[in-house]
Structure 1
Amino acid sequence: MYYCYRKKRYIMIYLANSREMKSIDTYSIETLGIPSAVLMERAAYATAVRICEVLKDTEGKKVIAVCGSGNNGGDGLAVVRILTTMGVSSAWYMAGDTAKATKETALQIKILENMKVPRCRSLDELTQADLIVDAIFGIGLTRPVEGNFARTVEAINRCRAIGRAAVCAVDIPSGISTDTGQVLGCAVEADFTVTFGTLKTGLVLYPGACHSGQVFVENIGFPIEATDQARIHTFAFEKEDIVRYLPKRQAYSNKGSYGRVLVIAGSKNMAGACFFSARAAYNCGCGLVRVFTVQENHDVILEKLPEAVLTTYDSTLVDMDLLDQAIEWADSVVLGPGLTCAPYAVNIVAYTLKHCKVPLVIDADGLNIIAGNGSLWDSVPQNTVFTPHLGEMSRLSSMPVGQMCLDLPKTCREFAKNHGIICVLKDARTIVSDGANCFINLSGNDGMATGGSGDVLSGIIGGFLAQKMDPLTAAAFGCFVHGLAGDAARKEKGAYGLLASDIIQYMSKIIR
């Protein structure tokens, strides 16, 4: 769960990497003249207030801050000072070398010494804490956590594991990469994180999200112009954005006003794929859906989705004139779910790529066919939406899954840029990019890891494309709506029995 203050000027959530956040900080201090000590004080005060809210009754409770020698450590030391003035029993432990402390951190140490606030000299003393403040490393960490720092992180995690102390991370859990969410050697496992200015990508990407707990984003006084000049290029939708981005309905309209989606999908014994995509396209508001599928699926589709326009073909001899007519009819095309990689399917994909002049979504076997037939890349239209999961992405890019997981936003962005497409890289945190900007989807849950869920997503994106949404927004917003519907389904049905059809059913709770 992410609790963000909202700058009225902005829509969506901004997600900063370490470079962008450092740019905001530097511009605020050096160009605008806001003293670093002022920002540190506001960060510490916001953290102290959150700690008191979490502890509720602070009487008899003890807080110990574990601090590094950088400014993140200075934040932690200032938290101890503020909590002490609030009457909360507090102490501090220096994991970093005080001789290497920054100017701001050295000042905080001096103040605590002058106030005679207790200093812990041993990690064993952490067992006395009811809450531990992790302020060892901030957003600038790029190297693995080793040696004494690793032992300190392990001591914090042990205290939490035995239920002795809750853990609050300052800005980001120590050991988590701000840019990728990867664990750098070892990392603190926090119950909650208080971060400043804006969310960080490492707090929402896995495994960083697992280490961050509940995340609170606090306004510590970075001016809007400081955020603007940083040119943040990673975003996330939130529920308030639904009204802004959902295609508007008009009183004076008809089914032709809301677009026509062609779903080229399904094969023998794979009728579900085209049903899920087609039904999802209808459920996100498009006016007409045509299903182009093998004749074996005729009766199933008519029974399950009588609202669909149905065109069937003989897989032993595909009538390309029928396909051409269907493509000409459409305002957007969804290609690939359940199509198989048989020779006739390869011909369908090749023909569609060559002749499609409307926005196109390629999923599942459509992607596998392109991966297995490199010459097809030359026919892929610009801004086509690709929706690969990690396995499909590995086949498309020839990159091992383990390697791409080290930096999913970079993998997605570079693939999109190199091929001139919109890439929807599906994972526990789906990444969407056009090669320049990125969206990280914060909706969805593990119950959605079920057959047909991806077919539903491709239909949603196709439906939004047919309603004239631009490809990047349709892809990112489609992922968000898909995840919200899954969240609504899980809330009522649980994770274990959640089906793709449930996601479709609960779309009506999200889109009204």
Structure 2
Amino acid sequence: MERIVTPEEMRHADRITTDIFGVDSLILMERAAMAAYECLRREAFCLNEVLVVCGTGNNGGDGAALARILLEHGIESDVVLVGKRERCTFQCEKQLEILEKYGKQIFAEIPEQKRYTTIIDAIFGISLNRNLDGVYRKAVEEMNDLRRMLLPAPKVLSLDMPSGIHGGTGKVMGTAVTADVTISFAYKKLGQMLYPGASSCGRLYCANIGITDRSFLGNLPLIRMYEDQEIRFPERRADGNKGTFGKVLLIAGSMNMCGAAILSGKAAFRSGCGMVKIMTVEENRVILQESFPEAMLLTYTEDGFDSEELSRSMDWCDCIGIGPGLSQGETALRLVEFILANAAVPVVADADALNIIAKRPEILSSCQTEVVVTPHIGEFGRLTGLETEEIKTHFYDVAADFARRFSVVCVLKDARTIIVNKDGEAFINCTGNSGMATAGSGDVLTGIICSLIAQGLGPFAASSLGCALHGRAGENGSAFRSPTELMAGDIIEGIVR
């Protein structure tokens, strides 16, 4: 698993490496510059005309060191310093002095009438915390103009973070460099994972420069991400049976909303559980029996449900999913109340269950079992009262606060999904594609998570792995379709072991 760090965590690790372990910051800078040079070669950048745009911080020092390494390999470049020279950090000033001793001129502005083939963005890295203005905004806009106007277009390599992107939120701080490739030093950063920052990064690579997990002195970063080879379903025992592979109870579907129950149930089966029972309104009986005969069925009417029969089903199952297509009527409300008050197994609450909880948060507060909530941005806004912009800007923080406050696993869904437990541990999911923004996709995710819990994974592990598998299924479903054509059923077809 990869660790994803915030700017604060990265700066802390950098300080520990230099101040405690004694690794000189200029050595780290040299390693970063060498890694960037190797990236230029690996990505086949045309190095006939190179522009290196440096800021006054250590990111600028990385850029200046890269310009020197290029020179050592016989490659000339124009080096521009954005900002006042007297504001340079010690390390940046040192690298600029070395360049000057090699005879390089340091420009104060980007030279005109040059047909650059490669642009190196080394202005801010992860240090930016305010909107760009003045000479910094001008430099970023000029780099983007060169990329847009020159033919052939120069390729842009950003060092650590495209300048103008907030390293912790992915927010565009006024304007931002659009990179073809970003090389992240030591660890990938949260702002590179979240949109719109992820779009500005282009292809993202991470380079080892000598800062390791040891530099956190035991207080490891809380956010992780699955690596490709780890995204797989649990091993299936050869001597198992339908009972040992897990039993899921899904309370889903309402009149004219039967599809949500079918999608969740089929996703649960395809993800490996042995048995699925669907509790839904009586009107859905025939549809389910004809289209989904593998599922067992328990029905109720809008006048009410049989609590004793439901209790027996709750005792039977290993996980309960509630909410997809449920409606928000009085019976649905009583179902959500009953499940959260009496469940002895983990509960996954989605869709209408969340809308009901938003109106009656005390239902969640008093729950005694483990709960996973899976809101998208709109549902999370209803749960918390937060505006969309606030949620997107503080994506991890708001999810972590909700998980801690209600002692739940919070799966906050967007183009990137973050999964957080009550202790603040988190996974960020970057699998999937835009085609998954389609009706029923969330129902499929609910089924996958329920299935993994029923098979024995804990709610946090099942939610984080389930999101990765869900995204991978969406990618597989797009193998023969464009994202525009993708439907939730295609995602289910993309679930492969």
1:233 aligned onto 2:222:
yes
- What is the CA–CA distance in structure 1 between the aligned matches of 2:50 and 2:362, rounded to whole Å? 62
Q: Deviations over 1:457-498 (max 9, x none)?
A: 001000011111011111111000000000111132111110
Corresponding residue for residue 37 of structure 1: 26
1:352 matched to 2:339: yes
- The match for 1:170 is 159
User: Could you say if the C-alpha distance between residues 37 and 456 of structure 1 is closer, same or farther in structure 2, counting changes exceeding 3 Å?
Assistant: same
Q: Distance in 2 between matches of 1:205 and 1:57?
A: 29
Report the alpha carbon displacement of residue 121 of structure 1 after superposing the two structures with TM. Answer: 4.1
How far off is 1:227 after superposition? 4.5
Q: What amino acid is the match of 1:98?
A: R
Maintained 8 Å contact 1:24/1:229: no
Q: Which residue of 2 aligns with 1:80?
A: 67
Match 2:464 to one of 464, 471, 476: 476
Q: Alpha carbon RMSD of aligned pairs, Å?
A: 1.5
Indicate conservation of the 8 Å contact 1:64/1:126, yes or no.
Answer: no
In the alignment, structure 1 residue 452 sits paired with structure 2 residue 440: yes
Q: Which residue number in structure 1 is paired with residue 416 of structure 2?
A: 429
Contact 1:264 1:334 in 2 (8 A): yes
Code of the aligned partner of 1:110 = E
Residue 394 of structure 1, aligned match among 381, 390, 398: 381
Normalising by structure 1, report the TM-score. 0.94
Report the residue type matching 1:238 in the other structure.
E
Q: Quick check: 1:375 aligned with 2:362?
A: yes
Q: What is aligned with 2:272?
A: 285
SS in 1 for 2:138: helix
Q: Distance in 1 between matches of 2:295 and 2:335?
A: 20
SS of structure 2 residue aligned to 1:491: coil
Contact 2:58 2:92 in 1 (8 A): yes
8 Å Cα contact 1:43/1:196 also seen in 2? yes
Query: Structure 1 residue 382: deviation in Å?
Result: 4.6
Match of 2:120 in 1: 133
Q: For 1:81, give the aligned amino acid.
A: R
Say how many residue pairs are matched. 494
CA distance in 1, matches of 2:492, 2:173: 39
- In the TM superposition, 1:151-190 aligns within 5 A as 151-163=138-150, 164-190=153-179
- 1: CA distance, partners of 2:75 / 2:105: 12
Deviation at 1:366, TM superposition (A): 0.5
* TM-score, scaled relative to structure 2: 0.97
Matched, 1:319 2:341: no
Question: Secondary structure of the equivalent of 2:142?
Answer: helix
How much has 1:167 moved relative to structure 2?
Answer: 1.1
Alpha-carbon distance change, 375 to 195 in structure 1, aligned in 2, over 3 angstroms: closer
Post-superposition offset of 1:128: 3.0
2:353 alignment partner in structure 1: 366
Q: Quote how far apart the aligned CAs of 1:505 are.
A: 0.7
Give the distance between the partners of 1:412 and 1:317, measured in 2 at CA. Answer: 34
Which of 19, 22, 25 is the aligned partner of 2:8? 19
Aligned pair partner of 1:413 in 395, 400, 407: 400
The question of whether the paired residues in 1 share the 8 Å contact of 2:333 and 2:356 is answered with yes
Deviations 1:359-388 (A, max 9, x none): 100000001111122332343335300001
Gaps of 5+ in 1: 1-11
Give the counterpart letter for 1:41 in structure 2: E
Distance in 2 separating the partners of 1:367 and 1:294:
19
SS in structure 2 opposite 1:176?
coil
Output the CA distance in 2 between the equivalents of 1:71 and 1:27. 16
Give yes or no for contact 1:485–1:504 (8 Å, CA) kept in 2: yes
Q: Distance in 1 between matches of 2:373 and 2:495?
A: 22
Contact 1:134 1:174 in 2 (8 A): yes
Is the CA contact (8 Å cut-off) linking 1:353 and 1:380 kept in structure 2?
yes
After superposition, the C-alpha distances for 1:136-176 in whole angstroms (9 at most, x for unaligned) are: 11212212211111111111111112243221100111111
Could you tell me which amino acid in structure 2 is paired with residue 68 of structure 1? Answer: G
1:93-242 equivalences in 2 (<5 Å): 93-125=80-112, 127-163=114-150, 164-227=153-216, 229-242=218-231
* Alpha-carbon distance in structure 2 between the residues aligned to 1:29 and 1:356: 51
Distance 2:457 2:149 in 1: 51
**Structure 1 range deviating more: 380-389 or 345-354:** 380-389
**Deviating more after overlay: 256-265 vs 215-224:** 215-224
Alignment check: 8 A CA contact 2:248 2:276 kept: yes
Aligned to 1:9: none
Distance 2:367 2:133 in 1: 47
State the distance in 1 between where 2:55 and 2:212 align: 27
SS in 1 for 2:136: helix
Q: Percent identity between the aligned chains?
A: 38
Structure 2 regions of 5+ residues with no counterpart? Answer: none
SS at match of 1:93: strand
Which residue pairs with 1:485 in the alignment?
A: 473
CA distance in 1, matches of 2:394, 2:357: 24
The residue aligned with 1:440 is 428
Which of 492, 496, 502 lines up with 2:490 in the alignment? 502
